[in-house]
Structure 1
Amino acid sequence: MTEELCDSATTAERLRSIAAELSDRFFEREDVVRTLIVAMLARQHSLVLGPPGTAKSELARDLTGRIEGAALWEILLSRFTVPTRMFGPIDVAALSRGEYRQIYEGRATTCDVAFIDEIFKCSTAALNETLGFLNERLYHPENGGAPIHCPLISAITASNELPSGEDSAAIYDRLLVRLEVGYLADPSNFAALVRSAVATPVPQVRTTIRLSDLQHAVSTAVPAVDVPGSIVDAVCTLRAALRRQELIASDRRWRQSIGLLQASAFLDGRTAVEENDLAVLTHVLWDSPAQRPTVEREVLQMINPDAKEALDLADAIDELEAQLDAKAGQSREALSQWAIHEANRKLVTAGKKLEKLRADAQAQGRAVASIEHVLGRQRAVHARVLTEALGIDASTLQPGN
C-alpha cells in the first residue's frame, strides 16, 4: 500500500511538472492546461472552444504526446466523415476472400487518448458511434458483431464555434469540461510570442508520464480521494444558488463533477477534496459562454470570501477594456488624456487592491487562485492601455509598475 501511495505521489508530481512546462510554453493558458489534466485524471472529456489560431491543437498534441506508451488518435472531423474512417476501415484483403472485417489498429477503437478537432462537424452517419465512443467507450462493428470495448481514458476536443443543431448538441452534452480560449490579451505575452518566432530554439525540459502510471491514477488513486461531508454540502449549496438564477445542470453532470474534484485534489498531492478544488466547476456548469461569468462568480465566492471584491474589481477592469476598444479610431491626444486621467489611475488602484487581497488571503491560509486570475486580467488590460493609448512598451515593465 505504501508503494502505491509513493507511486501516486510521483505521478501527481510529474503531472504538475508537465502542467508547469506547458504553461511556460503556452502563454495565458495555465488554467486551461491544469483543467485538461484534471479532466484526464477524472476519465472525462473536455472541449477547448476558441477562434482559429489560438494553439488549441498544438496544446492538445503537446499534452497527449507526453504519455509514454499511450496509443494516441487524432482526427479532423467534417460533415462527410464516415464511421469507418474513425473506428476502422474495411479490410480489403479479407473482403476479397469473402470475409467482412475492419482494421481497428491506429483508430479510435484502440486509442488510450484522443484529440478530436472540429468535434461539432461530426457527420450524421458517425453521430451514434461517436456518442457511444465518448459515453460508454463502445464501438459497434459495421458487420453487426459484438460491441468492442475501447480503452479510451479521455478525449480532448476542439471547436471554433458552439454546436448549432440537435445532433452536435448531443455531443456537447458529453463533454463535461468546457474551456474558452482567446487571443493573447497581455501585450508583453504577445511580444514574447513574436520573439519566440525568430529566436534560436533552446532545448527544453520535457517531462513525461508512463501510460501505466496514468491508468493507475485514473482507476485507483483518484477514486480513493476522500470527499468530506462539507464538500457535499458546498456542492448542494452551489446547485441551489445556480438554480435561483435559472442555471440548471443535469444530475449526471453534477455527479460526474465529483470525480473532477477528486482529480483536482490528487493533482495537488492531497488525499481529500478541499474547497479550493471547487474552482474547476467554473468550467462545468454552464451551457453558453454568456453564463460562465455567473457560474464563476458563484463558485469563487463560495471558495473565498475575498472573491466578491476581486470579482467586482474584475468587472471594473472589463469595463475599462471595453472603453479602450470603443475608443479605437480616436485621436492619440484624446486617447492619451483618457488613459492618463482615468484608465491608468483606476487600473493602478485596482492592482494595489488586488495585491493586498492576495497578501491578506495568503496570510490567513486561504486560496488565492481567483485573485491571481483577476490580477492577471488587470496586468493584461493595464499593459494594453500603456501600449495602445500611451505608446509605452509595456513588455519592458516589471509586474506592479
Structure 2
Amino acid sequence: MKTVKTHITQLLHAMNMGIFEKEHPIALSLLSAISGESIFFLGPPGVAKSLIARRLKLAFDQSTAFEYLMSRFSTPDEIFGPVSISKLKDEDKYERIIEGYLPSATIVFLDEIWKAGPSIQNSLLTVINEKVYRNGQYTIQLPLKGLIAASNELPAQGEGLEALWDRFLIRYFIGNIEQEFAFDQMIASVNDMEAEIPTGLSITEKQYIDWRTQISQIKIHYTVFELIHSIKRQIEKYNIQKEEVPHSTLYISDRRWKKIVSLLRTSAFLNETDTIRFSDCTLLLHCLWNEIEQIPIIEQMVSSALDECISHYLCGERTLEQKLSSIREDMKSEHSLRETKDPALQIVDTFYHQIERYPVAGNLLIFASDYQSLQKDTQKLFYVQRDKYRPVNWILKVYDHVRNRNISQSAIVSLKKGTRSVFINNQEYPLACNAGYDIAYPQEASLLFEFRFQEVIDLYHNRESE
C-alpha cells in the first residue's frame, strides 16, 4: 500500500505530463484543494493557467469541473445556473438549475475574476469561504474542493474587491517558459498531451475525508508560533514606514493567519510528518503579498524570520544537550550522589517556590530548579511573566538576551540567592516555608539531581509550549 507522500509524488508526476516548468503551480493548486482553500494565478495570457485547472480536476476521482471566462457583462445565471422557469411558474419558487454550473462542480476555474460584477462577487464570498450556496430558500453544501481564479492583473483599489481578494489564500505569479530546452520541447510538440492518471492515483472521496481528519490532528511546533510572531512584527514595522503611502501597507487578517496554519498542516501531512516543520513554512511566501512590488519584501521577511527561529531552535537544542551532559558527568561522581535538598521550602503547583512580600498583584513564583541554580554572590537576570493558564500567578523566568530580546526592560530583574530567600534587585524577600520550619538554614544544600533533571524538563516544555 502506497504511503501518502508516495501517492502525492506519483500523482503530481502524472499531472505534469506534457506541461513545461509548471511543477510548482500544479503542486500548489493540489495542496490548496486538499487543504480546502482557493488559489489565485497572476500572469499574462497563454501561460497554462486554465490547463493547470483541468489537470487539477484529474487529481480527484469522479470529479466534475466548471470553467468560465468572466467579463463585465457576465450574469449570475452564467455562473450559478439559470432560474428554473417551471418552478417559478408552477411553485412560485425562485431557484436555479445548478447542474452543470459552479454549485455542482468539484473543481472551478474562473478566468479574469476581477471583471465579475458585484452580484457574482458577493455570492463567491460564501462559496469560497464556507463552501455553501443559497439557492432560493435552501442553503446547499457544495462539493467544491478547489477553486482556481486567474487574471493578468490584480484587483483595482477602491472597487470593493478587498474581501474577495482576501479569500484567495495562495497567490502565485505564472510566467512564460524560461529554460530554452523546455521552450524548444513545447513548441516542437505536435499535439497538446492529455494527462492520463493511472488507476488508483486519483484521490477518492473517502481518502479526501480521511486525510482532512488526519490533517486537523497535525501538531504545531512552538517555533511556528515564534516564526509567525516574527513576521507579524516585521509587517507592523513595514506598515509604520509606509503609512503615508496610499495602498502600500500589508494587511493580514486573523482569518487569513488561521487558514495559513491550516495550509501548513496540510503540507506537513502530505510530507508524512506529525508536526509543522520549517520547510512547510516556506509556503508563507505565497500567502502574504498584496502587490507585485511586495513579493521581494515578503521573501525577505520570511527568510529573516526563518533564519532567526532556526538559530534559536538550534541554540535551545545545544542548551539541552549541555545540561544533560553536565548531569551525566556529575552522576559519575560518588560525591554527587550524596546531594541533599532543603525540606523546609514549600513546593507550589508541583514546580515552584513562592516568593513572599513582593509587591505584585497576585503570587510571585520561581521554578524550584531556577532557585537551586542561583548563587549567593552572583546576580542572574530574570524576567517576570504572567502565567497564561493561571493569571493570578506571576512567574520569574531566566532571561536570555537573544531569545527574550522583545521583553520589556521594566519586566527584567536581577536575582541572587539568600537564606531561604531571594534577593530581587538587591532587596531580600523570603520564600514560603512548610509548617514547622523557619528561615534559619544552617547548611547550604547542593543542587539535587531531581532539580537538575526538572530544569531540563522545564526548559524542554518551555520550548515546546511558549
Interval of TM-score (by shorter of Structure 1 and Structure 2): 0.5 to 0.7
Report the alpha carbon displacement of residue 244 of structure 1 after superposing the two structures with TM: 2.1
Match of 2:46 in 1: 53
Does the CA-based 8 Å contact 1:46-1:178 persist in structure 2? yes
Task: Confirm or deny that 1:191 pairs with 2:184.
Answer: yes
1:62–1:49: structure 2 CA closer, same or farther, 3 Å change rule?
A: same
Distance in 2 between the 1:203 and 1:93 partners? 41
Are 2:61 and 1:68 equivalent residues in the alignment? yes
Amino acid aligned to 1:110: S
SS in 1 for 2:274: coil
Do residues 263 (structure 1) and 266 (structure 2) align? yes
1:87 aligns with 2:80: yes
How far, CA to CA, are the matches of 1:13 and 1:83 in structure 2? 41
Match of 1:156, SS state, is strand
- Please state how far the C-alpha of 1:297 moved relative to its aligned partner: 2.4
Q: CA deviation at 1:10?
A: 3.7
Aligned residue identity for 2:155: P
CA contact 1:60–1:115 (8 Å) conserved in 2? yes
Matched, 1:300 2:294: no
Equivalent in the alignment of 2:163: 170
Q: Which 10-residue stretch deviates more, 246-255 or 53-62? A: 246-255
Contact 2:77 2:83 in 1 (8 A): yes
Q: Which has the larger radius of gyration?
A: 2
Matched with 2:144 is: 152
| Alignment correspondent of 1:27 | 20
Cα separation, partners in 2 of 1:133 and 1:187, compared to 1, 3 Å: same
The alignment status of 1:108 with 2:102, answered yes or no, reads: yes
**Bigger mean CA offset, 58-67 vs 162-171:** 162-171
Deviation at 1:111, TM superposition (A): 2.5
- Show CA shifts across 1:113-134 (max 9, x none): 3222221111123221122211
1:203 shift after superposition:
8.2
Higher helix share: 1
CA distance in 1, matches of 2:177, 2:56: 20
Q: Aligned-pair distance for 1:284?
A: 0.4
CA distance 1:277–1:203, change in 2 (3 Å): closer
**SS of structure 2 residue aligned to 1:239:** helix
State the percentage of identical aligned residues: 27
Mapped contact 1:139–1:148 kept (Cα < 8 A): yes
Provide the secondary structure at the position in 1 that maps to 2:153: coil
How many Å separate the matches in 2 of 1:16 and 1:280? 18
Amino acid at match of 1:195: A
Identify the range of structure 1 (128-137 vs 21-30) with the bigger mean alpha-carbon deviation.
21-30
The letter of the residue matching 1:46 is I
Question: Alignment partner of 1:209: what SS?
Answer: coil
Q: How does 1:1-400 map to 2 (within 5 A)?
A: 10-23=3-16, 25-100=18-93, 101-141=95-135, 143=136, 145-165=137-157, 166-197=159-190, 206=198, 207-218=201-212, 220-246=213-239, 247-303=250-306
**3-state SS of paired residue (1:70):** coil
| Alpha-carbon distance in structure 1 between the residues aligned to 2:15 and 2:113 | 23
Structure 2 CA distance, aligned partners of 1:63 and 1:147?
A: 27
* Structure 1 residues 73 and 137, CA gap change in structure 2 (3 angstroms): same
Once residues 191 and 138 of structure 2 are traced to their aligned partners in structure 1, the CA distance between those partners, rounded to angstroms, is 54
Asked whether the equivalents of residues 32 and 263 of structure 2 are also in contact (C-alpha less than 8 Å), the reply is yes
Q: CA separation in 1, counterparts of 2:18 and 2:60?
A: 18
Give the secondary structure class of the aligned counterpart of 1:104: coil
Deviation at 1:255, TM superposition (A): 1.6
Whether the 8 Å contact between 1:51 and 1:182 is mirrored in structure 2 is yes
Change (3 A) 1:198 1:41: closer
Are 2:58 and 2:197, in contact at CA under 8 Å, matched by a contact in 1? no
Distance 1:112 1:10, change over 3 A: farther
Q: Give 5+ residue unaligned stretches, structure 2.
A: 240-249, 311-466
Tell me the CA shift for residue 23 of structure 1. Answer: 4.0
Aligned AA (2:207): D
Higher strand share: 2
1:70: how far off? 2.3
**For this pair of structures, how many residues does the alignment match?**
295
TM-score normalised according to structure 2 size = 0.58
